Amino acid sequence: MNILVSTDSCYLRITETMLFSLSQHCSRPLSVWCMQGRLSEKEKADFQHYLKGKCGIRDFHWVDMFDLKGTEASFPLTIRHISLETYYRLFAQFVLPQEMDRVLWLDSDIIVKDAIDELYDQEIQGVPLLAFPNMGEAAVGGNAERLGLPGNCKYFNAGVMLLNLDYLRKGLSKEQVISFCLQNAGSFKQQDQDALNLLYGEKARVMDDQRFNCMVNAPSAFSAPDIVQRASIIHYAGWQKPWKIKWQSPYSFYWWDVRKAEGLTVRDYVILQVGSIWRFLGINTIEKWLCAPYHWIEARMKKSR
């Protein structure tokens, strides 16, 4: 099973947790490819040692994206928890081996809690990629309409994608993809996810099955009350991450169960304890109430512009 990820120094430990969870629920041999452009040699060595020792992943490959340096600085970054490394997945077809026909992209902020063979074996003949709808799309402003996608297109989330590399190689060149990003950068409010939807949205296979990309930041969009329990992949999309003290939620324990299986650090214990107190006291609610006047004034100033 071919797996593709990208990471940086801030997300290195989070990526380890994701791959550990995958290794616990995969009966097939894993071949992992990690795209990076800013890691130190020590970080790379430690990461590879972890995957081999803790996850049993021996077929591992670094994909250094140094040739994008200079150009990548022009890619828009308007979401605070997203780094430049997210744009690397746009270039998967150019940097992975020619004999590789498919690869499963997984964001670092997910956990795998059941087998994903059914997902990996999906039919993708004649389509660039298979992905899943962006849950809670109505609540985030109708991205398909914003980008001017045809009415029959579903705006997909890029956190879990099965890429048809053979198909993608027959399309745009690397230079054309870069040019497209630079020309359309002003419209990328959702970063490279917008680029992927603009490039492939009309031909992508968007599969309505929340089991394989259950985005717990949008519980109002759950297709069934027990979908989280049945999900094979839980995705902590958005900026409310379970490893942050402020954002311990009813769904955080799935991520922390994986971290506990890895082995908790002192820092992990602190986050768990302080996070529980934070949630019990309702500090997020108090903070929201205190900031309400500021947000009210800010909203009216935007309307008057």
pLDDT of residue 203: 94
Asked if residue 70 has pLDDT above 80, the reply is: no
Kindly report, residue by residue over 253-299, the tens digit of the pLDDT. Answer: 999 999 999 999 999 989 888 877 876 676 555 555 555 565 456 55
Residues 13, 104, single domain; the answer is yes
Residues 154, 216, single domain; the answer is yes
Residues 186, 286, single domain; the answer is no
Residue with tokens 């039919």: 123
Residues 250, 269, single domain; the answer is no
Residues 143, 281, single domain; the answer is no
Asked if residue 29 has pLDDT above 50, the reply is: yes
48 burial (CB, 10 Å; 0-12 / 13-18 / 19+) is middle
Residues 18, 150, single domain; the answer is yes
How many separate domains does the chain show?
A: 2
Residue 167: half-sphere exposure toward Cβ, Cα within 13 Å? 18
For residues 92-126, b (16+ Cβ closer than 10 Å) or e, as one string? bbebbeeebebbbbbbbbbbbbeebeebbeeebee
SS3 of 162, please? strand
Strand partners, 263: none
Distance in angstroms (rounded) separating the CA atoms of residues 259 and 250: 16
Q: How confident is the model at residue 305 (pLDDT cuts 50, 70, 90)?
A: very low
Output the domain CATH number for residue 192: 3.90.550.10
Kindly report, residue by residue over 76-102, the tens digit of the pLDDT. Answer: 565 555 667 778 999 999 999 999 999
Neighbouring C-beta atoms of residue 12, cutoff 10 Å: 18
Q: Tell me which residue range forms the domain holding 188.
A: 2-263
| Helices of type H across 24-98 | 41-54, 92-95
